[in-house]
Amino acid sequence: MLGLFLTFLKLGTFIFGSGHALASAMQSEIVDRQRWMTAEQFQEGWAAGNVLPGPIATKVVVYVGYEQAGVLGALVAIVAYLLPSLTGMVLITAVLTQYAQLPAVKSIVRGVKPAVLALLVEAFLSFTGVAFPRNGGLVAHSVPVLVTVGGVCLSLAGMWWMSTTGIAGVGAFLLTDVRSVLIFALSLAAILAFHVDTVFVMIGAAAIGLTYLAF
C-alpha cells in the first residue's frame, strides 16, 4: 500500500499536462517500472476511462489502485495523485490573496495571462483535430490551419479584452499591449510547433511578465 501511495504521489508531482498527454508517462511507470499490469490491461483501463465523464487520468488512477488493492487501493491512489495539485493550488491561492497587490506579482500574472490564452487555443485545436504542419512539403495544408488559428486567436482575444475592460474590439487589445501579443505568439509557437512542456511555457511567460516592472 505504501508503494502504491508513493508511486502515485510521484506521478502527481512530476508529470504535467492533461488527458492523453499523460498516457505515456503513466504507462511507463505502472507497466514498465512497477509491472503492476500488462500494457494490454493498462490500455483497456484507459479505453474504459474514455467512456466515463471527467478527467481521464484520475479515472485511470482509480482503476490501477483498485486492481492492486481493491477499494482501499483506489482511495489511496487517488488521494496520493491529487495531493500535489491540491497542495499547490492552496499555496498559490494563499500567495495571490496575500500579495496580489505587489508589483512583482501583478507583473507575473500579467505575463501568464496571454500564455493561458495560448493554452486555450491549443486545447481547441486538439479537440477539433487540427494538426499543425511541420513539414515544408505541406505548405498548402497549412492554410486552413493558419486560418483556424487566426480566427480562434482573434475570437479569444476579443472575449478576453471585453471581459477585462468592458470595451469591445480586438484592435484595442492588439494596440494597447504589444507585449501580451508577443507572449501569446511565442507561447503558441512553443506549444504547437516545438511541443514545449506547458510548465516551461508558463514559467517563460511569467519571466517575461517581470519585464513590466522595468518597462
Among 121, 116, 124, 120, residue whose Cα is nearest residue 209: 116
- Give the domain range for residue 69: 2-97
More confident residue, 186 or 130: 186
> Is residue 212 pLDDT above 70, yes or no?
yes
Same domain, 50 and 137: no
Query: Phi, psi (5° rounding) for residue 24?
Result: -65, -45
If asked whether residues 91 and 113 sit together in one domain, one would say no
Of 97, 126, 150, the residue that ends a domain is 97
205 in the same domain as 183: yes
Question: pLDDT (tens digit, 9 = 90+) per residue, 108-119?
Answer: 988 888 888 888
Percent of all residues in the chain with a pLDDT value above 90, rounded to a whole number:
35
Q: Which of 97, 128, 145 is where one domain is finished?
A: 97
Residues 180 and 88 placed together within one structural domain of the fold? no
> What's the chain's Rg over C-alpha atoms?
20
Q: 89 or 145: which carries more pLDDT confidence?
A: 89
User: At which of 51, 67, 97 does a domain end?
Assistant: 97
Examine the domain organization and report whether 203 and 116 are in the same domain: yes
Model-wide pTM > 0.75: no
The candidate with the shortest Cα–Cα distance to 6, out of 87, 80, 84, is 80
Same domain? For 51 and 147 the reply is: no
- Check whether 168 has a pLDDT greater than 50: no
Say whether both 159 and 181 belong to one domain.
Answer: yes
Question: Confidence class of residue 174 from pLDDT cuts 50, 70 and 90?
Answer: very low
The span from the CA of 41 to the CA of 151, in Å, is 41
Helices (H) and strands (E) in the chain, counts: 9, 0
Residue 138 has pLDDT above 60, yes or no: no
Mean pLDDT of 162-179: 54
Is residue 159 located within the same domain as residue 124? yes
Does residue 32 sit in the same domain as residue 74?
yes
Question: How many structural domains comprise the chain?
Answer: 2
Round to whole Å and give the CA distance between 100 and 61: 35
Per-residue pLDDT of 46-86, as tens digits, reads 889 888 888 888 999 999 999 999 999 999 999 999 999 99
